[in-house]
Amino acid sequence: MKYLLSSYFILLACSCFSQGLINNGAKIVFSGASQIYIDGTTGHYTNQSGGLITPSASSTITLLGNWVNNAANVAFSADGGGVVLAGAAQSVGGSAATAFYNLTLTGTGIKALAVNSNTVGGQSVFTGVLAVGASTLDLNSNTINITNSAVGAITRSSGYIISETNSGSNPSIIRWYHRTVGGSKVYPFGVAGSYIPFTFNITAPMAGASDYVEVSTRTTGSNNTPWASGVTHMYSPNVPYADGTIPAVVDRWWQVNNSSAVTANATFSYRGSENTLNALYSSGLIGAQYWASAWLPNNANLGSAAVVSAGVGAVTASGLSTFGPWVLTALLSPLPIELINFDGQCVNNNIALNWCTASEANNDYFTVEQSTDGSNFTGVTKIYGNGTTDLKYCYNYTATSISADINYFRLKQTDKNGQSKTSAIISIASCDKTNGHIVIANNGGKEVGVILTAATDQKLQLYVHNTLGQIIETKDLQAVKGYNNINVNLDNAANAIYYISVYNTAGEQLITKKIVVSDLNR
């Protein structure tokens, strides 16, 4: 039977009419701006026995109950119109998936998927929109297909989509058919009141008319576990941590899968509460890494940002073309060693370097590399490792005849297969200067390093002046006896020229240096 709707219908669902609207095999055809409004929390729309809806371009079905599709079809025979979920807690379920054109979420409560592979955006026209608005959509271990490849295929105001499923293979997925269309596509994830979007800015689009990128994200129950399916280690190959205690990795996973080749800049967002990094890493820089039989590649090639412990943080990685499980970590491409520390200090006018490992896997030797400019490094010594071990080992090397004001060092670790990885860079002021020698280091960003060797514990004060001589900000510094490398963030510095001065408590100026802040993202 076919019903033609050309007006506005209100169906009331109460205790005596609790079924809402059941389409028992009928063909409902909308004409013009026809609307159906199904009232009441039990006002469900149930499609069964081959029922179908043929919408018009401006038709609307609004319901306060659940959407249930038990027919062996996708509920709509053509693209057009829209469905509005305007109630409290509502679900989209049944025995079959539905192909919505426009799907709008309003009202209160969480909207949840109760069946896999529902589609929003259309079956052939592909211009429909998922309007999340201020609502919350819980994927609930299901996949939602976004067939509209436009940037605005998903819209929101303050709402978000929940992808949290604590499983190594997260089934709560947004599959977005980007096809051959580029641009910045936002997967609007969120959890527990925090908006943590994943942005996929496509710079080299896919080639196929049916190509997609699917993304899921989750925090974990404890210490990064369960790991994503297929991941065998976090810190070091062949030495997995049974309890999952990974103090250098943010407690959130992303799974990114692509159906064909694509290049994009990706921004990963996370909650500050997921910064479970230990004190060695918890206030430093983090970057993105993906798993492909090992953790790759080096963070320095994929963008980095300061880790946050409150609110929401984000890291952008540019030029991605390989995908899979992703994490944010403070380790520069995790070494086949678990490096506890790498630092140095002045001893008798020489620089004494030391480092310790908590475990090693197939470790052949270390090369200590030195530089006077922080860019060009030369190997100065080779020190052999301890192969594969779960025991703690410490190493040391003394650099002599140091003449540069600032010296830079890094460790290059080589395994027995000839593969090498490089540690983070450390900087140390020259030790052959007189007591109290001080250096200011800056690389064009908002962070300034004050490096000095102090005769006693003492308080210092740092002043930041602009070119007009005005004080922009001041910082109190605490130096300890011996070597100091104090990092200072210039909170109020925009892109400009500044003069950095350091004074002691007697008001004596110890040093002044001109710097140029030119990159606020560094």
Domain spanning 438-517 has what CATH number?
A: 2.60.40.10
**Mean of all residue pLDDT scores within the chain:** 85
pLDDT the model gives residue 68: 97
* Kind plus residue range of the DSSP H or E element containing 60: strand 60-63
Average pLDDT over residues 201-217: 97
Structure-model confidence comparison of residues 98 and 2, the more confident one: 98
Most confident range (mean pLDDT) of 78-82, 442-446, 509-513 is 78-82
Beta strand 90-94 with 67-69 is parallel
Q: What local confidence, expressed as pLDDT, does residue 434 receive?
A: 41
pLDDT at residue 517 tops 90: no
Backbone angles phi, psi at 153, to 5 degrees: -70, -25
- The pLDDT of residue 264 is 96
User: How large is the average pLDDT for residues 446-471?
Assistant: 84
Q: pLDDT tens digits for 379-413?
A: 999 999 988 877 889 999 998 766 666 678 888 88
Band (3; pLDDT cuts 50, 70, 90) = low
pLDDT value, residue 240: 41
What pLDDT sits at residue 42? Answer: 87
- Nearest-angstrom CA–CA distance, 218 and 330: 19
Closest CA to 107 of 159, 166, 172: 159
Least confident of 221-225, 255-259, 316-320, 331-335: 331-335
Q: Is 351 exposed, middle or buried (0-12, 13-18, 19+ CB in 10 A)?
A: buried
Could you check whether 337-429 and 438-517 share the same CATH topology?
yes
Tokens at residue 70, please?
A: 């038990």
Give percent of the chain with pLDDT exceeding 70. Answer: 87
> Could you please report the per-residue DSSP string of 366-394?
EEEEEESSSSS-EEEEEEEEEEEESS-EE
Q: How far apart are CA 81 and CA 33, in angstroms?
A: 9
Domain coordinates in residue numbering, the chain: 1-162, 205-333, 337-429, 438-517
Lowest mean pLDDT among 183-197, 221-235, 244-258: 221-235
Average pLDDT, integer, range 275-303? 76
Over 90: is that where the pLDDT of 133 sits? Answer: yes
Find out if CATH 2.60.40.10 is the number for domain 337-429: yes
454 or 349, greater pLDDT: 454
State the pairing for strand pair 173-176/143-146: parallel
**Residue 1's pLDDT is what?**
52
Q: Is 237 a residue whose pLDDT tops 50?
A: no
Least confident of 36-40, 241-245, 420-424: 241-245
User: How far apart, in Å, are the Cα atoms of 139 and each of 99, 145, 147, 157, 229?
Assistant: 16, 11, 17, 18, 20
Q: What is the mean pLDDT of residues 293-301?
A: 67
pLDDT at residue 12 above 70? no
Global pTM value: 0.65
Residue 171 has pLDDT above 60, yes or no: yes
Question: Which letter does DSSP use for residue 466 in this model?
Answer: -
User: Between the CA of residue 328 and those of 78, 286, 297, 302, 519, what are the distances in Å?
Assistant: 43, 6, 12, 11, 22
Q: Note the pLDDT tens digit of each residue in 50-68.
A: 999 999 999 999 999 999 9
* 351 band by pLDDT with thresholds 50, 70 and 90: confident
Query: Is it the case that residue 478 has pLDDT exceeding 60?
Result: yes
pLDDT at 4 over 60: no
pLDDT at 104 exceeding the cut of 80? yes
Highest mean pLDDT range out of 331-345, 352-366, 400-414? 352-366
pLDDT at 238: 37
Distances (CA, A) of 87 to 84, 112, 135, 195: 9, 12, 11, 22
What pLDDT is recorded for position 521?
42
Residue 368 has pLDDT above 90, yes or no: yes
For the ranges 238-252, 338-352, 418-432, the maximum mean pLDDT occurs at 338-352
User: Among 87, 40, 46, which residue's Cα sits nearest to residue 67?
Assistant: 46
